[in-house]
Amino acid sequence: MIKQAIIPLAGLGTRLLPLTSVFAKELLPINGKPGIEYILDECIDAGIKEIIFIISKKKEIVKKYFYNDKFYKKIIKNKKDSRILKEYKKILKYRKKIKFVYQNSPKGTGDAVLKTQNYIKDNFFLMLLPDDLIMKINCSKAMIKVHNKYKSSVMASMVVNKKTVNRWGIYSSKKKLDKNNFLISDVVEKPDVNKSPSNNAVIGRYILSKEIFKVLKNQKKGKGGEIHITDSIKKMILNGSKYVGHKFSGKYLDCGSMNGYINSSLEISKI
């Protein structure tokens, strides 16, 4: 069973400036609800019991969102508003499941994952990148099923426009396992458009094994001077670890870019 999830939240959100200059991108509203709550709902619905937030001193506002009790209690006392009480209870429910760890310098997703090493109890855990919303069908739940079937690591996959491959991790695959799942033979972080092995991209849902921490400890900086989880996954695959790519069927919304963020509220309002 996969019981723990980790969510890297220490990123600066520069693609969403000026919205992120004083605010955390994960708290920005998407159709009237902070983006992070969609991610939390996906985790909880998939049976996750503990969620580890990787934040930084600059992102304390994320913690505050879940620990603003004094403010809520005062308002609830003065104003008998059932909607506010319901929202407060929801936040308390989320909070019970959340732990915070710190990544004070944003060195990349690989470095963020390494910060959770001492908290991971089981052999496998889930990671969700909060820029990637997947609506309609719970991608984490589907991936946990794939993990249970193949006893492997799993990553979400989606075919993207060939001209945009340098924005994603890109897969190579040799073998189809079943209709929506394939065996990954290699993965490369943000390849050049003319050197890309395919246009099948990594989307931000991963089931990873604890083994990855050993690799991450020695992981050197890659593209853009960051420590990428993709580079450690690549090493593991080349050393024989089994990674399955899962073509998810939900609706993908890229909330990490300005156009994508604006579009996401419109799309969710239609669901």
| CA distance linking residue 128 with residue 5, whole number of Å | 7
| CA distance linking residue 54 with residue 98, whole number of Å | 10
Task: Considering only residues 150 through 209, tell me which ones interact with ligand G1P, judged by CB under 6 A.
Answer: 168-169, 189, 201-204
| CA distance linking residue 191 with residue 170, whole number of Å | 7
250 counts as binding ligand G1P under rule CB under 6 A = no
54 counts as binding ligand G1P under rule CB under 6 A = no
Which string of x and - marks every residue 86-125 that binds ligand G1P (by CB under 6 A)? -----------------------x----------------
Query: What are 271's two structure tokens?
Result: 């669901």
48 counts as binding ligand G1P under rule CB under 6 A = no
Among 53, 132, 173, 206, binds ligand G1P (CB under 6 A): 132
26 counts as binding ligand G1P under rule CB under 6 A = no
User: Closest separation between CB of residue 188 and ligand G1P, Å?
Assistant: 9
The H or E element that residue 203 is part of is strand 200-209
Local structure of 205: helix, strand or coil: strand
CB 1 within 8 A of CB 122: yes
231 counts as binding ligand G1P under rule CB under 6 A = no
Q: Which stretch binds ligand G1P (CB under 6 A): 91-99, 127-135, 241-249, 263-271?
A: 127-135
| CA distance linking residue 105 with residue 56, whole number of Å | 7
CB 162 within 8 A of CB 226: no
Catalog residues that contact ligand G1P under the rule CB under 6 A: 109, 129, 131-132, 168-169, 189, 201-204, 228, 230, 256
